Chains A and B, each alone.
Chain A
């Protein structure tokens, strides 16, 4: 690392200008505008002159939409927990051991990365009558509605969607830990279980925390999964409400106020992820 000096410094700062300009125009200004829009009445901001109504939109959000905020926190938290339980052993096996279907497993991990559309549609089809779970419904003698359109279905969708993040974060943490530490513990007489809990787990804690936060953060923005799998009641999360408020009711004021709540939560999560990882160091 070097500090730029003299003419080099000017070049360094000049080269950053286009990017910074772009980010300002297409990310910082729009996000700041969300704050501004959240203070205006319905769609007065985009149609005609903005009519400022103070914090009344926020009052509405915290009275009428409190249920959505609650769901938006609960469902991703549950999904992140499921991911941690399912993903930790997988990350460990993929980095430290050679398992059956090693490459298939590694490749399949990347699919959910882009597949919010496919996961929700595929799971929805599987849960519907005539889908893959028909025999389960018959076996337990329940209606498909006791699975589909409940929080369980949403959590299932969320956790499949973000499982790769968890595995990737934990395994990139594991890769940086010298395997000889574990071997040393085993040579010195620790049982495998003890070696894992006293050596490996504490060292991979940053990865697990970052993975947990990342899963939570990504699912906060999830839209189609709660919409399709959760239906009206269980899928009542902030993103669904925002899309409904903007594209159908044209109440941009309340939608923007909800967006401000959502983005605050995302920024907090992201900030904590950055703190845990070395991306800022």
Chain B
């Protein structure tokens, strides 16, 4: 190779730059959570700010985890039938259906929020309820379940299903006993993505959840807006951030980046 030194150095610098750019905002929140700034200098305060976190934060955490779990389950129920049908059959309006099914992912949460809150107020009477929150969050997150499922069902070898059919299984049995176990990684991927997505979503709940139910991301959002300089808020953000990282690391360890876009070229 010609001029290996310059190339290697440039590559290394570039990688360090990218790592710094991506990691520093996240790392700085952790740093803020354990330090206190005085005019004389920065003081390490350990976990003092974490102890200042109040009871309602933990209640909100419970609510958020419940909502995230319900959203992921609902997403799975909504996304499995179309994922299976779209990857196995060909029919009229298939393209239109695919587009309509994937498009919600690209809807800005603000627009979904304005739309959902007006119909919730006027017709559905779901404003401020847990059910309304789950149903609303699922509407913009289920494509994240659908795309991994589509990818994994498409790459499934059809001979397994044919074998099951030949051996006398009904279509429902084939799906439950053969297809679902084989597409396990796709399902797991969809679950983690939609779960993390919904526990971190503050914008849609701002419109549809109302003040009745405390959700962690919403609480964090308003704390950041009004009390952003307090160490306690940095500590609060650190906890949700750690939970998110934990789930995403689990995701990368088990699945990798294979299903993250779902698009092919």
Contact = CB atoms under 8 A, between A and B. Distances in A.
Instruction: Decide if A and B are genuine partners.
Output: yes
Interface stretch (B45-53, B58-66, B107-115, B177-185): B107-115
Interface residues of A, number: 103
Interface string B225-260: 100110000100100110011001101100001001
B136 A263 contact: no
Interface stretch (A56-64, A106-114, A137-145, A194-202): A106-114
Interface string A157-177: 000100111001101110010
A123 B140 CA distance: 27
Nearest to A37: B118
B22 A99 contact: no
Contact of A114 (B106, B221, B248): B248
Nearest to A265: B108
B263 A279 contact: yes
B110 A239 contact: yes
Contacts of A262: 108, 110-111
A11 B27 CA distance: 52
A97 to B, nearest CB: 8
Given A108-B22, A172-B261, A118 B237 contact: yes
B91 to A, nearest CB: 6
A168 B257 contact: yes
Interface residue SS majority, chain B: helix
Interface string A29-54: 11111100100000001100000000
Contacts of A115: 25-26, 200, 241, 244
A10 interface: no
Interface residue SS majority, chain A: helix
A246 interface: yes
B197 A111 contact: no
Contacts of B241: 115, 118
The 6 closest A-B pairs by CB, nearest first: A221-B108, A122-B25, A30-B115, A26-B139, A277-B263, A46-B121
Interface of B: 11-12, 14-15, 18-19, 21-29, 32, 37, 77-79, 81-82, 84-85, 88-91, 95, 97-104, 106-119, 121-122, 135-136, 138-140, 171, 196-197, 200, 202-203, 206-207, 217, 220-221, 224-225, 228-229, 234, 237, 240-241, 244-245, 248-249, 251-252, 257, 260-265
Interface of A: 1-4, 9, 11-12, 15-16, 18-19, 22-23, 26-34, 37, 45-46, 86, 89-90, 93, 99-101, 104-126, 128, 130-132, 160, 163-165, 168-169, 171-173, 176, 206-207, 210, 217-218, 220-221, 223-224, 227-228, 238-239, 242-243, 246-247, 252, 255-256, 259, 262-263, 266-267, 269-271, 273-274, 277-280
Given A117-B237, A269-B106, 18 more contacts: A1-B90, A16-B97, A19-B81, A22-B78, A45-B118, A100-B15, A104-B19, A106-B252, A107-B249, A111-B26, A121-B29, A165-B261, A173-B265, A176-B265, A246-B113, A263-B108, A267-B103, A278-B265
14 contacts: A3-B90, A26-B139, A90-B14, A104-B19, A107-B252, A111-B26, A169-B261, A173-B265, A210-B265, A224-B202, A259-B110, A273-B263, A278-B263, A279-B263
